[in-house]
Amino acid sequence: MINLPARDVLGNFLTYNGDKYQNMVVLNADLSLSTKSDIFAQKYPHRFFNFGIAEQNMIGASMGFAISNKMPIVCGFSLFTTGRAWEFIRLACHDNLNIKFITTHGGLVGGDGSTHSALEDLSLMACLPNLNVIVPGDNIEIVKVLEYAFRIPGPFYIRLPRGNLNVIHKKDFEFDPNAIDVIKNGNESNDICIIGIGSGSYIASQFALKLEQELHISIRILNQSTIKPINTKNLISLIKNDKNVIVIEEHNTYCGFGSIISRIISEYCPKKIKIIGIENSFGQSGSRNELLEYYGFSYKNLKKKILELLNEK
């Protein structure tokens, strides 16, 4: 499980839980192979519905399933699901329907390039009342988040990447949207608190020790997979003594996770903050490593941001 691509974890989870959630139906728009919901389709063909390449109709239909006491799981690519059918999702949230929107290909996508990158989906989703928005950091967390989302009625947006997530949690990790998920504790008060989502949390933990040694600083890392609703009180009480904050998100920086954290911090415990994300771009084709490097998800850029924070008055 640990080494599977995120979408395989999704497909397997749906299939393992088919009997437990008898009211579950899985909806798809010609991407069942790409999102791995085809695994569910094989075992439960009568509860799987392919709408063809028609995201709007898929989501409209999911609303009909929901008001008929089914629990629709809407699977698709992050961009096409949230972008093409946004107003449908808005209405689903408006009526607080029990629909789980679970997408893959969130963030940078590699060769497919800008028209398939999802760098705006969190902006589109995080503004919707009632919607729970969660970006898991590894496969262990994906399973826990899916269990949680299936248990709690109401709309969820769960964003997964196209490929693999590196492990950041211990096997006995439990997901609690109100708890603050500390990946690296540091001290009571730290020079830098890095708050990541998705791939961002691992990127932070990959570089933190080396940066601590090189710069003689202390770094705390939080994996804030729950973007909405954020338990502001718990978050603030944990980070209030940290001197600076850096957010890492595979999303645009205009109005993404970093913007949300900036608002919370400036409202409740003002301190300096920098955001590492995709700035002013729709993404492009390239290998994952090239893209991560180019958009600043690198040791070099993280160090630069830290030095800016430490040196700026």
Ligand X SMILES: Cc1ncc(C[n+]2csc(CCOP(=O)(O)OP(=O)(O)O)c2C)c(N)n1
CB of 227 to another protein, least distance (A): 24
Residues 135 and 105: beta-carbon distance below 8 Å: no
Q: Enter the DSSP assignment of 171.
A: T
Q: Which does 111 bind (CB under 5 to 8 A by kind): ligand X, another protein, none?
A: another protein
By CB under 8 A, name the one of 173, 254, 268, 294 that touches another protein. Answer: 294
Scan for tokens 């009211």, then name that residue: 23
Alpha-carbon gap, residue 25 to 117, rounded angstroms = 27
Compare residues 31 and 149 and give the one whose CB is closer to ligand X: 31
53 binds ligand X (CB under 6 A): yes
**Within 13 A of 235's CA, how many CA atoms are on the CB side?**
28
| Interacting residue with ligand X among 31, 85, 131, 160 (CB under 6 A) | 31
51 part of the interface to ligand X, by CB under 6 A: no
Task: State yes or no: residue 111 binds another protein (CB under 8 A).
Answer: yes
**Of 119, 138, 82, whose CA–CA distance to 249 is shortest?**
119
Q: Are 172 and 107 in contact (CB under 8 A)?
A: no
Cα 115 from Cα 95, distance rounded (Å): 31
Total number of residues that touch another protein (CB under 8 A) = 33
Q: Give the strand pairing for 182-184 and 219-223.
A: antiparallel
Q: Which of 206, 241, 285, 301 binds another protein (CB under 8 A)?
A: 285
Burial of 108 (0-12, 13-18, 19+ CB in 10 A): buried
Binding-residue pattern over the window 20 to 59 for another protein, x denoting contact by CB under 8 A: --------xxxxxxx---x-----------xxxxx-xx--
Q: Decide: helix, strand or coil at residue 111.
A: coil
- Partner touching 237 among ligand X, another protein, none, CB below 5 to 8 Å by kind: none
Q: Which amino acid is at 306?
A: I
Residue 73 beta carbon to ligand X: minimum distance, rounded to whole angstroms: 18
Indicate which single residue of 13, 40, 65, 80 sits in contact with another protein (rule: CB under 8 A). Answer: 80
247 near ligand X (CB under 6 A): no
DSSP3 helix / strand / coil % (the chain, rounded to 5): 40, 20, 40
Q: Does 7 bind ligand X (CB under 6 A)?
A: no
Asked if residue 84 binds ligand X (CB under 6 A), the reply is: yes
For the bound state, the minimum distance from the C-beta of residue 105 to ligand X, rounded and expressed in Å, comes to 9
Dihedral sign of CA atoms 137, 288, 300, 247 in order? negative
Residue numbers at the binding site for ligand X (CB under 6 A): 30-31, 53, 80, 84
Residue numbers at the binding site for another protein (CB under 8 A): 28-34, 38, 50-54, 56-57, 79-80, 83-84, 110-116, 284-287, 290-291, 294
